[in-house]
Structure 1
Amino acid sequence: MAPTVAVLGGGYGGISVAKALDDIADVVLVEPRETFVHNVAALRAAVDPDWTERIFIPYDGLLSRGRVLRDRAVRVHPTAVDLGSGRRFTADYLVLATGSTSPYPSKLDVEEAAGAAAKLRSTQAALARADRVLLLGAGPIGIEFAGEIKAVWPDKTVTVVDPAADLVSGRFPDAFRAELRAQLDELGVELLLGTSLRELPETGPGQTGGFTVTTRSGVEIDADIWFPCYGGTVDSDYLGPELRPARRPDGRLAVTAELRLPGQETVFAVGDVTAVPEMKQARAAQQHAEVVAANVRTLIEGGGTLATYRAAADSIVLPVGPKGGVGYHPEAGLLGAVPTAELKGGLFLDRYLELLGAVAAR
């Protein structure tokens, strides 16, 4: 009989591991959402009705021999998984790929696809009614969302506030941030950096309703709608006592160079849930998945040396609307608006449609 590999989480890392091991193991992918959600395109889906349904991709075509369980892991042991439904199953190998959460709309907070799509349509309508938009956070989420809003409604006032002194944390050259500033300035996006709000608006995030707030530097901002565009948290409370020593204070999991939990031979982790010191991105999760899938395959086949992972250098492809953006990689250098849009203008949707079996492989 083939060994069982339990993959917890059906995001970018989880689907990649599951797909890669489907031919050699009985893969069980545990995921509470009804469909895969292409979060890379979530901000565009919040403004563009053409993208509302496109970011939800069924899991049906992902696995040939494995299965997807729509459930949630509530307690995880090295060789067993307890589910929210009350069921338990055993596994020979375990891959933790439970990802992270961040405020809507950068990640959707509704598990049913129909409900999540309805919330996106509600956000589109709320933004259409608003003349003045306030975004809290000048990292990748805030900048990308500002660009998406301006692409659809170029006459709206968009203000971005962040306590950081500059745009986008990370080890990037000055030219990267200068290019971002130039593109945002051309769009008319107002940046208020090095300050924060004294108090949050009285209206809830994403709700239309005029308000005035004041920054700690004394600037008054009038707006009609606001969104939090910062922060990412992980939930690893599901770890059983045997695995809990890997848990850091922020919930992320320490891993070895082979991406195993320390002291565990058959328990791996990938993606945002890991404490690997690098930017948390879908690309990194998939690179983790390649290493973990190779290592599980080696162990199943009785091989010797396992693959190791080295934390990726800071790099990014950051859209500023469908036709703009800035990219940087230490080897490729700086990418301006045109090459960035060519690289990420489609938000890599075709890549994940193919991986999930929703379109024929090329």
Structure 2
Amino acid sequence: MHQFGTNAYHVVVVGGSFAGLMAAQELEKQAAHLNVYITVIDKREASFHNISSLRALVDPSLAPKLWIPFDRALQGKRSRIIQAAVAEVHPHHLVLSDGRHMTFDILLLATGSDYPSPAKIDSLYVQPGIEETRRHQRHIKQAQRVLIIGGGAVGVELAGEIASEYPDKTVTLVQAKHQLLPDEYHPGFREKARQALEKLGVHVELNDRVIVPGSQPIRDCPDTRTLRTVNGLEIDSDLQFLCIGTVVNTPYLHTLGEDDGVLTEPATGYIKVLPTLQLEYPRYRHIFAIGDCNNLPGAKLAYKAESQAKVVAKNVRRMLERISHSEDASNAKLATYKDPGAVMAVTIGRDITYNAFPFANLIGWRDVARKGVDLFLPKRYQQMNIPYPK
């Protein structure tokens, strides 16, 4: 069938962040009785814990800890993680950016999304990535007036981190909507976030939008300038952060040969999936998409990605069990993903964690409340089977 020999099955996972790595780890457990080889492909040298990336901008000790080695993440003898980029996806093989071909029986796409630095780092290697974070640290420390464009979770948390660590700086956050954070969250939760930021001294401007001239885009470096908003407000700043503009990582899908709009949503680029997390298009039911790259509604959050990963691992195992008995995998009874609801923890500096749950709005609820303390970084090390560095 492929390089692993007769009666062996190859599951390839593209993307080694929350969704992809969790799916591979779960599949190792669930498919241990099957002759399954698992390959995780990730473009980075190590796992980057972006949940802590904003705290690292004001806490220099965190910069090297954001990068967690892949070495022990998978425990099985038939599992591996390789650093590579996927250039093309075909019905039963991949083409990597270096020209290598890799066949698969089942494919899991967990390629996530890109977001402006520093929330997500551009670097693919550990040392340059650490230097990128440290460069942002220096810029923030030197600036006196910081402008944050965008009031989603990233903008809110970035403003909170800077204002908490540097109370003498002028921090302005501009949000185009009438409240902060995504619309799916309760208005009371969103209002608490605004109040917390203003208590820290952040100037929050709602229902307004910064006009950024096309000839002078927001640069990834200090830049003293005056920007005007749609409502006529003039904002002076020494450093600007763009906290909008998520881009889904799905350009590799064009080689599957379908017209635009068949596999992905034209407006967003999200991959269309069924409740089983298989691709919606009937020809590719052996391909799954999980995490930030699929078109399931709601905010794209790590806990949802991991929840999807567990469903996919179960479904892949059931399909492989059918195949191993020479039966049609399409007849396997597959589990469907059920959204756990709009659960969200937003940290506003080190001391405040606001939690939104489907049933209530609470402050400091069990494990979620620890986000403001450690940003789930020790837990991520534990998931990767690596001791947390002191």
Common topology (TM > 0.5): yes
Q: Distance in 2 between matches of 1:173 and 1:68?
A: 40
> Offset at 1:189?
0.5
**Partner residue of 1:336 out of 363, 367, 371:** 363
> Offset at 1:202?
4.5
**CA offset digits 1:7-32 (Å, max 9, x no partner):** 00111101001111225321111111
**CA offset digits 1:135-184 (Å, max 9, x no partner):** 00011111000111122211111000121121112222232122112211
**Partner residue of 1:191 out of 184, 194, 204:** 204
Does structure 1 retain, via aligned residues, the 8 Å contact 2:112–2:292?
A: yes
Structure 1 segments unaligned to the other structure (5+ residues): none
Task: Describe the SS at the equivalent of 2:269.
Answer: coil
Q: Distance in 2 between matches of 1:232 and 1:203?
A: 16
**Partner residue of 1:228 out of 234, 242, 255:** 242
When the two chains are superposed, the root-mean-square deviation of aligned CA atoms in Å is 1.9
> Offset at 1:6?
0.3
| Structure 1 residue 348 corresponds to structure 2 residue 348 | no
Q: Which piece of structure 1 moves more, 274-283 or 239-248?
A: 239-248
Q: Distance in 2 between matches of 1:112 and 1:227?
A: 23
The equivalent residue for 2:3 is: none
The equivalent residue for 1:54 is: 65
Q: Distance in 2 between matches of 1:338 and 1:30?
A: 36
Q: Distance in 1 between matches of 2:337 and 2:300?
A: 15
* Percent identical residues: 32
The equivalent residue for 2:227 is: 213
The equivalent residue for 1:246 is: 263
The equivalent residue for 2:139 is: 126
**Partner residue of 1:259 out of 255, 267, 277:** 277
Structure 2 segments unaligned to the other structure (5+ residues): 1-6, 323-328
Does structure 2 retain, via aligned residues, the 8 Å contact 1:151–1:321?
A: yes
Does structure 2 retain, via aligned residues, the 8 Å contact 1:126–1:206?
A: no
Q: Distance in 1 between matches of 2:258 and 2:9?
A: 21
> Offset at 1:326?
1.3
Aligned length: 359
Q: Distance in 2 between matches of 1:338 and 1:31?
A: 34
> Offset at 1:274?
0.2
Task: Describe the SS at the equivalent of 1:54.
Answer: helix
Task: Describe the SS at the equivalent of 1:138.
Answer: coil
Q: Distance in 1 between matches of 2:228 and 2:85?
A: 42
Q: Distance in 2 between matches of 1:144 and 1:31?
A: 27
**Partner residue of 1:106 out of 119, 122, 131:** 119
**CA offset digits 1:197-252 (Å, max 9, x no partner):** 23359474342232211112111111110000112111212112256632211211
In structure 2, do the counterparts of structure 1 residues 17 and 348 end up closer, same or farther at CA, with 3 Å as the change threshold? same
The normalised TM-score by structure 2 is 0.87
Q: Distance in 2 between matches of 1:338 and 1:259?
A: 30
State the one-letter code of the partner of 2:263: A
State the one-letter code of the partner of 2:316: V
| Structure 1 residue 298 corresponds to structure 2 residue 318 | yes
| Structure 1 residue 180 corresponds to structure 2 residue 204 | no
| Structure 1 residue 11 corresponds to structure 2 residue 39 | no
In structure 2, do the counterparts of structure 1 residues 289 and 89 end up closer, same or farther at CA, with 3 Å as the change threshold? same
Does structure 2 retain, via aligned residues, the 8 Å contact 1:243–1:261?
A: no
The equivalent residue for 2:336 is: 308
Q: Distance in 1 between matches of 2:92 and 2:212?
A: 47
Does structure 2 retain, via aligned residues, the 8 Å contact 1:210–1:223?
A: yes
| Structure 1 residue 158 corresponds to structure 2 residue 171 | yes
**Partner residue of 2:85 out of 72, 83, 103:** 72
Q: Which piece of structure 1 moves more, 349-358 or 253-262?
A: 349-358
The normalised TM-score by structure 1 is 0.94
Task: Describe the SS at the equivalent of 2:53.
Answer: helix
Task: Describe the SS at the equivalent of 1:301.
Answer: helix
> Offset at 1:83?
0.6
In structure 2, do the counterparts of structure 1 residues 343 and 162 end up closer, same or farther at CA, with 3 Å as the change threshold? closer
| Structure 1 residue 275 corresponds to structure 2 residue 295 | yes
Task: Describe the SS at the equivalent of 1:133.
Answer: strand
> Offset at 1:190?
0.3
In structure 2, do the counterparts of structure 1 residues 210 and 174 end up closer, same or farther at CA, with 3 Å as the change threshold? same
